[in-house]
């Protein structure tokens, strides 16, 4: 029976092989490569959270890095001020709740105030500068321009019994992999639920949805808060892999995540990961080869993809189907 | 079911509602006709809460709704079909119907996809509209007439007590118009319905009482035959010079 399913569904084959390859990755590559992929998977979760609001709800957010950065800072600050064992778990929850709260506040005023489309984007863009300045000014708490570094190392496992140091590339990698799969499944559940249907209908025609009896601003705040929480979670996962500094909330980071989602294919979920990995690896490769010009290449690539494949890599692959690549698929 | 009392609305210097009074009984189908710019669509915007009147009352089931928001009025059982088909083009036919069928649910029901038996109602509508084979198609790819019917289906699934149809046959072929009239008579039977329509053949086929609006007021009311005989109506609306 299983064979039959695999025979009919090349998707299962692809996913199975991909999963095994991802699990085996740290065993066959260096620690550097492992943490690099872990970092890109964290960015993938970040991009996934943007796809939930941009791809599915049509909310344009030019300041999504705020929530990534808020998550990372919340994690770092919690680790610094919570001295007990097992603090990592609380820090992660904190790193989800803080961005969520910012998202709810922002969403409440903007969505209930009927600020939508590009105007919402402009407000979030401006907010990036505001939040970045607040972080730089509050240097006692955040370390200011120098960044935040003197916090306890994040650890997983059961305190006192068995502990895993997240600074180990392998531990970080498997944690991030599990988190990425978890977030992907959660996002999939959300978009396939009736709530997800309504969210997509809001993207199409907000007014029409309201005439059917839905409280549109409330539903927008909810999806926005979920996306902000997920972005914060990815920020928390970034802490063992990178450095907490005001750069995390930069306009560049907000822009590049838009590129990742657009290149991968917005409104597809998996496209967020595909786009992030494709662009990030290319960026790593190009920035080694062309120290100055690499950004130009990435920009040109983004423009080309959006012009030639407006639905991104995944949209393109869906349209032209995997059939030609996998001839064993029936009918 | 619907009582509109002394409704006034101005847009700047333009008076669009000038003391309008309309009473629609429970289960009645009422046609609203009138020349262009006479406030027919504005009337629907006022009833659904899209715009607020300057004065007057709109009572639905005895409750004055003028201060309520659009979704709250929708939850009281008011369902509206727009002039041009307003559906969610990127979603499938079935998804459109699911969304329409479940507008009054709370958030927990939405996230858990609990539909409280709406599936059977959706199947019924798919069958009535003869849409079974299109259910998984992108609704934006349907023909104009089919999109109009899909929206009528959505309005019906929304469990309305009061249905507002704004030119349900706009842009339809003669055959489609005839089918729409039959559809409305068949599926809307016993539901309180307000229909704005320009197509006189359609109004006749609907066999419903007619209200003629003119400059924000009711000019006259009666059966189609009475209205068609009325001198004043012929002059302002049917385009006949006395």
Q: What is the ipTM of this complex?
A: 0.89
At residue B242 the predicted structure's pLDDT band, cuts being 50, 70 and 90, is very low
**Cβ of B242: how many Cβ atoms within 10 Å?**
6
- Chain B residues in contact with A200 by the CB 8 A cut-off are 88, 90-91, 95
What average pLDDT does this structure show over B30-50?
89
pLDDT tens figures, B3-20: 999 999 998 888 888 889
pLDDT tens figures, B61-77: 888 999 899 999 999 99
pLDDT tens figures, B93-125: 999 999 998 788 888 999 998 888 888 999 988
Contact state of A208 with B70 under an 8 Å Cβ cutoff: no
Shortest CA distance to A219 belongs to which of A189, A199, A192, A245? A199
Query: Can you spell out the DSSP letters for chain B?
Result: -EEEEEEEEEETTEEEEEEEEEEE-TT-EEEEE--TTSSHHHHHHHHTTSS--SEEEEEETTEE-TTS-HHHHHHTTEEEE-SS----TTSBHHHHHHHHHTTT--HHHHHTT--TTHHHHHHHHHHHTT-GGGTTSBGGGS-HHHHHHHHHHHHHHT--SEEEEE-TTTT--HHHHHHHHHHHHHHTTTSEEEEE---HHHHHHHT--EEEEETTEEEEEE-HHHHHH-HHHHHHTS----
Alpha-helical runs (H) found in A244-311: 251-264, 270-289, 294-308
Q: What is the mean pLDDT of chain A?
A: 89
Q: Is residue A124 predicted with pLDDT exceeding 80?
A: yes
Q: How far is CA B11 from CA B32, B112, B166, in A?
A: 22, 44, 21
Which architecture does CATH list for B2-236? 3-Layer(aba) Sandwich (3.40)
Q: Is the dihedral of CA A220, A226, A228, A231 positive or negative?
A: negative
For B42, what's the count of Cα atoms within 13 Å in the CB-facing half-sphere? 24
User: What percent helix, strand, coil does chain A show, rounded to 5?
Assistant: 75, 5, 20
Shortest CA distance to A128 belongs to which of A76, A65, A74, A70? A65
Q: Is residue A2 predicted with pLDDT exceeding 60?
A: no
What average pLDDT does this structure show over B116-135?
87
Decide if A310 touches B, using CB distance below 8 A: no
pLDDT at A331: 37
Task: Please report the number of interchain residue pairs, chain A to chain B, with beta-carbon separation below 8 angstroms.
Answer: 77
Q: Is residue A227 predicted with pLDDT exceeding 60?
A: yes
pLDDT at A308: 84
CA distance A204 to A209: 9
More confident residue, A269 or A304: A269
Burial class (CB in 10 A: 0-12, 13-18, 19+), B229: exposed
CA distance A117 to A220: 12
Break chain B into its structural domains and give their ranges. 2-236
pLDDT at A8: 62
- Chain B residues in contact with A205 by the CB 8 A cut-off are 86, 88
- Chain A residues in contact with B103 by the CB 8 A cut-off are 212-214
Q: Is residue A328 predicted with pLDDT exceeding 50?
A: no
What average pLDDT does this structure show over B52-61?
92
Task: Using DSSP bridges, classify how beta strands B29-33 and B192-196 pair: parallel, antiparallel or unpaired.
Answer: parallel
- Chain B residues in contact with A209 by the CB 8 A cut-off are 99
CA distance A175 to A166: 8
Residues near A327 by beta carbon (within 8 Å), at least 6 away in sequence? none
- CA A184 distance to own-chain centroid: 10
Q: Is residue B193 predicted with pLDDT exceeding 70?
A: yes
Q: Which residue of A has its CA nearest to B92?
A: A197
- Chain B residues in contact with A197 by the CB 8 A cut-off are 91, 95, 98-99
Q: Is residue A4 predicted with pLDDT exceeding 70?
A: no
More confident residue, A60 or A38: A38
pLDDT tens figures, A131-163: 999 999 998 888 888 889 888 888 888 877 888
Domains of chain A: 2-19+31-319 (1.10.3470)
Shortest CA distance to A298 belongs to which of A268, A260, A261? A260
CA distance A4 to A248: 47
Tokens of B232: 């004043």
Rg of chain B in Å (alpha carbons)? 18
Q: Helix, strand, or coil here: A132? A: helix
Decide if B115 touches A, using CB distance below 8 A: yes
Query: Which of A262-266, A279-283, B129-133 is least confident?
Result: B129-133
Contact state of A194 with B154 under an 8 Å Cβ cutoff: no
Contact state of B89 with A222 under an 8 Å Cβ cutoff: no
Best of B50, B70, B159, B164 to disrupt the A interface (most A CBs within 10 Å) is: B70
**Cβ of A60: how many Cβ atoms within 10 Å?**
18
At residue B162 the predicted structure's pLDDT band, cuts being 50, 70 and 90, is very high
pLDDT tens figures, A177-223: 999 999 999 999 999 999 999 999 999 999 999 999 999 999 999 99
- Chain A residues in contact with B99 by the CB 8 A cut-off are 194, 197-198, 201, 209, 212
More confident residue, A131 or A308: A131
Contact state of B88 with A208 under an 8 Å Cβ cutoff: yes
């Amino acid at each position: 029976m299983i064979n039959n399913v695999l025979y009919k569904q090349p998707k299962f084959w692809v996913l199975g092989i991909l999963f095994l390859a991802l699990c085996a990755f740290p065993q066959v590559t260096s620690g550097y490569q492992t943490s690099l992929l872990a970092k890109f998977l964290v960015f993938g979760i970040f991009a996934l959270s943007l796809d939930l609001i941009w791809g599915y709800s049509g909310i344009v957010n030019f300041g999504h890095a705020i929530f990534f950065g808020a998550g990372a800072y919340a994690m770092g600050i919690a680790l610094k001020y919570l001295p007990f064992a097992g603090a990592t778990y609380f820090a992660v929850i904190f790193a989800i709740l803080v961005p969520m709260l910012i998202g709810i506040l922002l969403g409440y005023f903007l969505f209930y105030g009927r600020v939508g489309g590009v105007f919402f984007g402009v407000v979030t863009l401006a907010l990036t500068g505001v939040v970045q300045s607040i972080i730089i000014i509050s240097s006692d708490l955040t370390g200011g321009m120098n960044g935040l570094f003197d916090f306890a190392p994040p650890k997983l496992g059961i305190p006192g019994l068995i502990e895993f140091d997240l600074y180990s590339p392998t531990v970080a990698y498997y944690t991030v992999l599990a988190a990425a799969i978890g977030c992907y499944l959660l996002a999939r559940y959300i978009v396939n639920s009736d709530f997800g249907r309504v969210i997509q209908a809001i993207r199409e025609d907000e007014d029409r949805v309201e005439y059917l009896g839905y409280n549109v601003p409330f539903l927008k705040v909810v999806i926005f808060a979920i996306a902000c929480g997920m972005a914060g979670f990815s920020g928390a996962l970034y802490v063992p892999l990178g450095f907490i500094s005001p750069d995390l909330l930069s306009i560049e980071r907000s822009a590049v995540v838009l590129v990742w989602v657009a290149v991968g294919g917005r409104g597809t979920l998996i496209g967020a990961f595909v786009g992030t990995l494709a662009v990030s690896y290319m960026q790593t490769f190009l920035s080694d080869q062309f120290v100055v010009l690499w950004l130009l290449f990435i920009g040109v690539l983004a423009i080309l993809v959006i012009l030639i494949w407006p639905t991104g890599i995944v949209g393109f692959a869906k349209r032209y189907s995997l059939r030609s690549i996998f001839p064993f698929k029936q009918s | 079911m619907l009582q509109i009392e002394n409704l006034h609305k101005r847009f700047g210097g333009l008076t669009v509602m000038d003391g309008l009074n309309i009473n629609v009984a429970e289960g009645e189908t009422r046609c609203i006709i009138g020349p262009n710019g006479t406030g027919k669509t504005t009337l629907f915007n006022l009833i659904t809460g899209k715009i607020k009147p300057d004065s007057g009352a709109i009572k639905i089931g005895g409750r004055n709704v003028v201060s309520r928001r659009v979704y709250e009025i929708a939850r009281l059982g008011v369902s509206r079909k727009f002039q041009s088909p307003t559906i969610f083009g990127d979603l499938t036919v079935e998804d459109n119907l699911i969304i329409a069928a479940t507008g009054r649910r709370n958030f927990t029901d939405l996230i858990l996809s609990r539909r409280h038996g709406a599936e059977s109602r959706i199947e019924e509508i798919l069958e009535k509209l003869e849409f079974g084979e299109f259910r998984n198609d992108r609704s934006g790819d349907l023909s104009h007439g089919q999109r109009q019917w899909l929206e009528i289906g959505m309005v019906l699934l929304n469990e309305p007590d009061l249905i507002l149809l704004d030119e349900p046959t706009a842009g339809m072929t003669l055959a489609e118009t005839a089918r729409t009239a039959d559809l409305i008579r068949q599926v809307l039977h016993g539901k309180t319905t307000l229909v704005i329509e320009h197509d006189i053949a359609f109004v006749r086929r609907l066999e419903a009482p007619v209200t003629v609006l003119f400059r924000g007021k009711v000019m006259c009311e009666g059966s189609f035959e009475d209205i068609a005989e009325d001198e004043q109506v012929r002059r302002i609306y049917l385009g006949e010079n006395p």
